[in-house]
């Protein structure tokens, strides 16, 4: 029993899955699921289809050459069984996996390295160019910083804050929801 | 070989059939339509074609017949004579000659009539010429009708002749009728010849094949021959005589020593002596048949003498061949009924024939070419010492031991049977593994681990390589740790700026969404233009809110909008009041009322009006007049609107030929109007 690779997307095909297609020139194509099979029948080139491993490797999104890949190679000559070798192999597989994963993560982070700087620059530029959408030029002249304009509100009442907040018009102390009601009402009048 | 395969001759049609075939072919394969209005050359060509076509077909078919029937002079004399005996050479030749002349005559007819057709001047004349030509050709064929029938009969008979190869090894069986020739051939070959008690059961030659020393021999059974002068022989006897005369074969002369065939030994001996000239140069064997009825030793004196005479003859031929004067080879007793001596006879005959043929081949000139090509090399013995093959002692012992062991060893099969049989016991295939440590024979090794094939990783020095890999990894980690320092750039936006950016992005996406909505509805659905403000959202308060969110002070704008609204403009009385409001109003007086109306149309509460009231103005005397005018206007527009026309000039027909009116069947009724 062997785990094979899908010809289209290069994912592993577990036993009991997928379809194998044998062409007249005796070349075998294995597919992991009908998605890959149908793409193949449509004669699509996996190197041009974004989500396949072939594309990702070709365009440098994934790691291509690495010494961890050389340890895993299909050997056609059978080896005589040796328990020690078998044990070592099993242990080694796990370690190699870990290393490989770490290297792939590193590759990814290297790829993404300059992204932050670029993003920051783009944000600054956008802010500068489109500030007119949220701040009128007149307001920008007065306050040249690239921030939202301060909304001016006219306050109509001359009461001190505390008295207004904690007592109603008749001078009675307010309950908390009275106070809340008052504050919303005042906000509404401010907005209008 | 063409010589003796007469089955491939094509069928010869009878006269009438022949004519029918050819004429119908002419009719089918030449053009048939012609009118008298055609050009004369075309008419002539048409009829000439027909005549020529017919002549060609006759020619072809007759040629085929003539070619396929064998020429008696060209084939092997055996067949030539056989055909002559059966069919009479002269008659045969005459028939074929007639066919030949017919062919030539037809050719001449066609040539003549084509010459005449060249000068035909009308359709009718050409047609008559053609009819005449074809008619004459058909008469010719009718006249040779009997010949054709005769040839057909011959063909059928020839196809049934036995396929005898005159050049290969042949054994000929001859003798009086009823002596047991056919029984013999039935015994040694697969031929199934009729065996009956009456004479002349076999009326023609029969062939069987038998094998001896990896070679195939033909055995030919002939009809019986009676002792008569040559001229009186009938056709059946002549067949056997022909065979005897022409085939180079071993001859088995059958003798019935019991006399149950109806003829005595004396008569048979007489026959023998009369045809012994035919046995020249042929290995001869006298076969005494039916010894179950009368043993050879029990013959009378006279009979014995006769038999001995015949034997002497046979021996003479043996000597002529160069063999030893051997009794056994010349006279053989057998019984076809009891199979006694049959094989011996066959072997003797085959042996004699083979020897004779080999001798002849050796004497002929051609053999030297063959002999030059092969040479059997035999090593010359050095001396007379015996040198047997030398087998070392150890090998001999091993051989003995192996054979002993083979009997003692316990087979897997026995093991299986002991432990329950085929379905129950499953053999341990790992029993004979050769491993470094025998304990490992029971190990189960996984094939798959974590999505990898374990066998792809197996390597005796995998540990070493793993160590290298880990070292590499360690180095790389160290290098990375050093790199970690400079990563930050420090040109980040402040939180307020980020807020502003978020707001900008939100606004942009809103704009895009609105635009998309507008774009999608603009083609399919007409929308109410902004000035009609159906949702009543274009208010001055909203404008004020938007301006203040942009950071501007909206009061001035709101005041202006309010003062310029139509509700204020509409009242004559209030115009004078409005003038006091601001300078801005004066400038706008000249602008069209339409533009003013596109601005805010909010009416202040104090100026509300009942819905039905119509203000006089625009040239009308009073409100009543204006009302009627409005009514007339609405009436004139009503029908147009119902027909969904944009205006007076809109004559668009969206679908000039709707499919449902111009195609399809009706479920009931006629479709005579579209």
Can you give the pLDDT at residue B590?
A: 47
Q: Are B141 and B116 within one domain? A: yes
The answer to whether the Cβ–Cβ distance between B451 and A3 falls below 8 Å is yes
Q: Are B343 and B296 within one domain? A: yes
**CB-neighbour burial class of residue A32 (10 A; exposed 0-12, middle 13-18, buried 19+):** buried
A33 has pLDDT over 50:
yes
Mean pLDDT across the stretch B417-446?
90
Closest CA to B310 of B359, B257, B258: B257
Residue B670 belongs to a domain: no
A104 has pLDDT over 50:
yes
Tell me the three state secondary structure of residue B449.
Answer: strand
pLDDT confidence bin for B446, thresholds 50/70/90: very high
Give the single-character DSSP code of B530. Answer: G
The domain boundary residue, chosen from B160, B181, B215: B160
Which residue has tokens 């190197």?
A: A47
Q: Assess contact for A8 and A52: CB atoms under 8 A.
A: yes
β-pairing, B284-289 vs B250-256, is parallel
Higher-confidence position of B247 and B371: B247
Residue range B610-659, pLDDT digits in tens = 777 788 778 888 889 999 999 999 999 999 999 999 999 999 998 999 99
Maximum separation of any 2 CA atoms in chain B, in Å: 182
pTM: 0.44
Residue B543 belongs to a domain: no
Residue B56 belongs to a domain: yes
Helix (H) or strand (E) holding B174: strand B170-175
Q: Are B152 and B221 within one domain? A: no
How close, in Å, is residue B506 to chain A by CA atoms?
Answer: 10
Q: Are B296 and B182 within one domain? A: yes
Closest CA to B181 of B220, B132, B131: B220
Residue range B371-422, pLDDT digits in tens = 778 788 888 888 888 888 888 999 989 998 888 887 778 888 889 888 888 8
Mean pLDDT across the stretch B223-241?
84
pLDDT confidence bin for A159, thresholds 50/70/90: low
Can you give the pLDDT at residue A34?
A: 96
pLDDT confidence bin for B460, thresholds 50/70/90: confident
Chain A CB contacts of B449 under 8 Å are 90, 93
Candidates A5, A14, A15, A88, partner chain B, best to mutate (most B CBs within 10 A): A88
Can you give the pLDDT at residue B587?
A: 46
What percent of chain B lies above the pLDDT cut of 70?
91
The domain tally of chain B equals 2
Tell me the average pLDDT of chain B: 85
Chain A CB contacts of B450 under 8 Å are 93-94, 97
Give the single-character DSSP code of B112. Answer: H
Q: Are B155 and B198 within one domain? A: no
Q: φ and ψ at B390, to 5 degrees?
A: -105, 115
Closest CA to B620 of B609, B629, B611, B612: B629
pLDDT confidence bin for B607, thresholds 50/70/90: low
Mean pLDDT across the stretch B65-75?
88
Which of A31-40, A177-186, B495-504 bottoms out in mean pLDDT, i.e. has the lowest? Answer: A177-186
Can you give the pLDDT at residue B500?
A: 92
Candidates A6, A141, A148, partner chain B, best to mutate (most B CBs within 10 A): A148
Can you give the pLDDT at residue B53?
A: 95
Can you give the pLDDT at residue B521?
A: 81
B111 has pLDDT over 80:
yes
Q: Are B42 and B147 within one domain? A: yes
What percent of chain A lies above the pLDDT cut of 90?
57
Q: φ and ψ at B75, to 5 degrees?
A: -95, 175
Chain A CB contacts of B446 under 8 Å are 90
Which residue has tokens 């022949």?
A: B18
Query: Sign (positive/negative) of CA torsion B474, B476, B482, B485?
Result: negative
- Quote the CA–CA distance of A101 and B594 in Å, as a whole number: 72
pLDDT confidence bin for B584, thresholds 50/70/90: very low
Among chain A residues, the shortest Cα distance to B441 is held by A81
Can you give the pLDDT at residue A127?
A: 92
Q: Are B143 and B271 within one domain? A: no
Residue B190's Cβ-side half-sphere holds a number of Cα atoms within 13 Å equal to 3
Can you give the pLDDT at residue B367?
A: 75
Among chain B residues, the shortest Cα distance to A97 is held by B450
Tell me the three state secondary structure of residue B545.
Answer: helix
Q: Are B78 and B150 within one domain? A: yes
Calculate the dihedral angle through the C-alpha atoms of B598, B599, B602, B606, rounding to the nearest 10 degrees: -110
Q: φ and ψ at B132, to 5 degrees?
A: -65, -45
Residue B298 belongs to a domain: yes
Q: Are B210 and B354 within one domain? A: yes
Give the residue ranges of DSSP H helices in B580-652.
583-588, 593-598, 623-642
Q: Are B156 and B281 within one domain? A: no
Chain A CB contacts of B456 under 8 Å are 72-75
Owning domain of residue B152:
15-160
CA distances from B399 to B46, B389, B404, B406 (A): 95, 16, 9, 11
Can you give the pLDDT at residue B299?
A: 80
β-pairing, B250-256 vs A28-31, is unpaired
CATH number, domain with residue B110: 1.20.120.1190
Residue range B168-202, pLDDT digits in tens = 889 998 888 888 888 888 888 888 888 888 888 88
Q: Residue A30: beta bridge partners?
A: A20
Can you give the pLDDT at residue A160?
A: 65
Can you give the pLDDT at residue A56?
A: 96
What percent of chain A lies above the pLDDT cut of 70?
82
Residue range A45-97, pLDDT digits in tens = 999 999 999 999 999 999 998 888 888 888 888 889 999 999 999 999 999 99
The domain boundary residue, chosen from B160, B192, B225: B160
Q: Assess contact for B209 and B216: CB atoms under 8 A.
A: yes
Closest CA to B134 of B110, B107, B98: B110
Mean pLDDT across the stretch B503-522?
91
Tell me the average pLDDT of chain A: 86
Q: Residue B605: beta bridge partners?
A: none
- Quote the CA–CA distance of B308 and B304 in Å, as a whole number: 6
Residue B663 belongs to a domain: no
Q: Which two tokens stand for residue B615?
A: 């203000």
The answer to whether the Cβ–Cβ distance between A81 and B435 falls below 8 Å is yes
Residue B300 belongs to a domain: yes
Tell me the three state secondary structure of residue B64.
Answer: helix
Tell me the three state secondary structure of residue B349.
Answer: helix
Query: Sign (positive/negative) of CA torsion A37, A42, A48, A49?
Result: negative
Q: Which two tokens stand for residue B457?
A: 């990783």
Q: Are B34 and B174 within one domain? A: no
B332 has pLDDT over 70:
yes
Q: Assess contact for B219 and B171: CB atoms under 8 A.
A: yes
Tell me the three state secondary structure of residue B101.
Answer: helix
Q: φ and ψ at B428, to 5 degrees?
A: -85, 105
pLDDT confidence bin for B46, thresholds 50/70/90: very high
The domain boundary residue, chosen from B342, B366, B390: B366
A7 has pLDDT over 70:
yes
The answer to whether the Cβ–Cβ distance between B458 and A2 falls below 8 Å is no
Residue range B116-161, pLDDT digits in tens = 999 989 999 999 999 999 999 999 999 999 999 999 999 998 888 8
Can you give the pLDDT at residue A2?
A: 92
Residue B393 belongs to a domain: no
Which of B23-27, B282-286, B412-416, B579-583 bottoms out in mean pLDDT, i.e. has the lowest? Answer: B579-583
Can you give the pLDDT at residue B232?
A: 84
CATH number, domain with residue B305: 3.40.50.300
Residue range B280-329, pLDDT digits in tens = 788 888 888 888 888 878 888 888 888 888 888 778 777 776 666 555 66
Q: Assess contact for A50 and A43: CB atoms under 8 A.
A: no
Q: Are B300 and B322 within one domain? A: yes
Calculate the dihedral angle through the C-alpha atoms of A120, A122, A125, A127, rounding to the nearest 10 degrees: -70
3-class DSSP string for B247-290: CCCEEEEEEECCCCCCCCHHHHHHHHHHHHHHHCCCCEEEEEEC
| Count of Cβ atoms closer than 10 Å to residue A146 Cβ | 19
Q: Residue B173: beta bridge partners?
A: B221, B252
Can you give the pLDDT at residue B224?
A: 85
Residue B498 belongs to a domain: no
Can you give the pLDDT at residue A3?
A: 95
């Amino acid at each position: 029993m062997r785990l094979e690779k899908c010809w289209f997307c290069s994912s592993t095909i577990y036993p009991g899955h997928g379809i194998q297609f044998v062409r007249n020139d005796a070349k075998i194509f294995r597919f992991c699921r009908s998605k890959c099979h149908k793409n193949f029948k449509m004669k699509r080139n996996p190197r041009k289809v974004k989500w396949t491993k072939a594309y990702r490797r070709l365009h440098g999104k994934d790691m291509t050459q690495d010494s961890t890949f050389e340890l895993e190679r299909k050997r056609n000559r059978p080896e005589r069984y040796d328990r020690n070798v078998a044990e070592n192999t099993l242990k080694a597989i796990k370690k190699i996996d870990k290393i490989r994963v770490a290297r792939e993560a590193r590759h990814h982070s290297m790829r993404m390295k300059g992204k932050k700087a670029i993003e920051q620059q783009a944000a600054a530029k956008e802010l500068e160019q489109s500030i007119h959408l949220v701040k009128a030029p007149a307001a920008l002249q007065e306050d040249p910083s690239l921030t939202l304009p301060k909304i001016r509100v006219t306050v109509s009442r001359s009461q001190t804050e505390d008295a207004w907040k904690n007592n109603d018009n008749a001078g009675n102390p307010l309950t908390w929801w009275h106070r809340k009601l008052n504050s919303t009402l005042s906000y509404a009048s401010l907005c209008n | 070989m063409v010589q003796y395969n007469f089955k491939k001759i094509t069928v010869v049609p009878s006269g009438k059939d022949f004519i029918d075939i050819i004429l119908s072919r002419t009719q089918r394969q030449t053009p048939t339509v012609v009118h008298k209005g055609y050009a004369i050359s075309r008419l002539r060509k048409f009829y000439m074609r027909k005549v020529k076509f017919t002549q060609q077909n006759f020619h072809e078919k007759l040629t085929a017949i003539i070619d396929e029937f064998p020429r008696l002079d060209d084939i092997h004399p055996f067949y030539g004579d056989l055909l002559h005996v059966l069919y009479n050479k002269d008659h045969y030749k005459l028939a074929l000659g007639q066919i030949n002349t017919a062919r030539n005559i037809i050719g001449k007819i066609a040539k003549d009539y084509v010459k005449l057709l060249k000068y035909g001047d009308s359709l009718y004349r050409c047609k008559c010429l053609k009819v005449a030509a074809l008619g004459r050709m058909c008469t010719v064929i009718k006249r040779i009708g009997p010949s054709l029938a005769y040839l057909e009969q011959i063909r059928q008979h020839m196809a049934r002749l036995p396929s005898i190869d005159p050049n290969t090894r042949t054994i000929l069986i001859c003798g009086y009728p009823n002596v047991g020739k056919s029984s013999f051939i039935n015994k040694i070959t697969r031929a199934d010849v009729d065996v009956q008690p009456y004479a002349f059961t076999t009326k023609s030659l029969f062939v069987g094949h038998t094998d001896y020393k990896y070679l195939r021999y033909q055995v030919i059974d002939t009809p019986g021959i009676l002792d008569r002068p040559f001229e009186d022989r009938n056709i059946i006897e002549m067949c056997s005589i022909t065979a005897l005369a022409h085939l180079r074969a071993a001859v088995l002369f059958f003798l019935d020593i019991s006399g149950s065939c109806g003829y005595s030994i004396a008569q048979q001996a007489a026959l023998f002596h009369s045809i012994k000239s035919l046995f020249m140069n042929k290995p001869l064997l006298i076969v005494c048949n039916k010894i179950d009825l009368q043993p050879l030793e029990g013959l009378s004196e006279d009979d014995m003498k006769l038999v001995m005479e015949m034997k002497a003859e046979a021996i003479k031929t043996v000597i002529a061949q160069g063999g030893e004067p051997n009794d056994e080879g010349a006279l053989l007793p057998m019984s076809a009924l009891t199979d006694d001596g049959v094989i011996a006879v066959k072997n003797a005959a085959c042996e004699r024939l083979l020897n004779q043929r080999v001798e002849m081949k050796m004497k002929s000139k051609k053999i030297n070419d063959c002999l030059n090509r092969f040479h059997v090399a035999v090593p010359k013995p050095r001396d007379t010492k015996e040198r047997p093959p030398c087998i070392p002692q150890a090998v001999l012992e091993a051989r003995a031991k192996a054979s002993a062991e083979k009997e003692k060893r316990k087979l897997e099969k026995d093991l299986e049977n002991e432990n329950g049989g085929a379905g129950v016991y499953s053999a341990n295939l790992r029993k004979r593994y050769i491993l470094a440590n025998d304990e490992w024979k029971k190990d189960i090794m996984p094939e798959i681990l974590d999505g990898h094939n374990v066998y792809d990783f197996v390597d005796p020095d995998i540990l070493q390589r793993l160590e290298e890999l880990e070292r590499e990894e360690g180095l790389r980690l160290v290098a990375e740790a050093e790199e970690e320092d400079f990563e930050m750039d420090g040109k980040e936006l402040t939180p307020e700026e980020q807020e502003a950016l978020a707001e900008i992005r939100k606004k942009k996406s809103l704009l895009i969404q609105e635009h998309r909505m507008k774009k999608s509805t603009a083609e399919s659905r007409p929308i109410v233009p902004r000035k009609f403000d159906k949702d009543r959202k274009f208010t001055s308060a909203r404008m004020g809110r938007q301006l203040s969110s942009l950071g501007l002070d909206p009061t001035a704008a709101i005041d202006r909008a309010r003062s310029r609204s139509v509700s204020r403009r509409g009242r004559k009385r209030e115009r004078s009041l409005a003038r006091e409001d601001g300078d801005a109003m004066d400038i706008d007086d000249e602008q069209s009322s339409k533009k003013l109306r596109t601005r805010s149309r909010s009416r202040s509460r104090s100026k509300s009006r009942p819905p039905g009231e119509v203000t006089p103005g625009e040239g009308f005397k009073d409100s009543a007049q204006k009302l009627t005018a409005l009514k007339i206007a609405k009436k004139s527009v009503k029908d147009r609107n119902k027909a969904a026309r944009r205006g007076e000039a809109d004559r668009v027909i969206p679908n000039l030929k709707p499919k449902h009116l111009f195609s399809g069947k009706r479920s009931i009724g006629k479709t005579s109007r579209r």
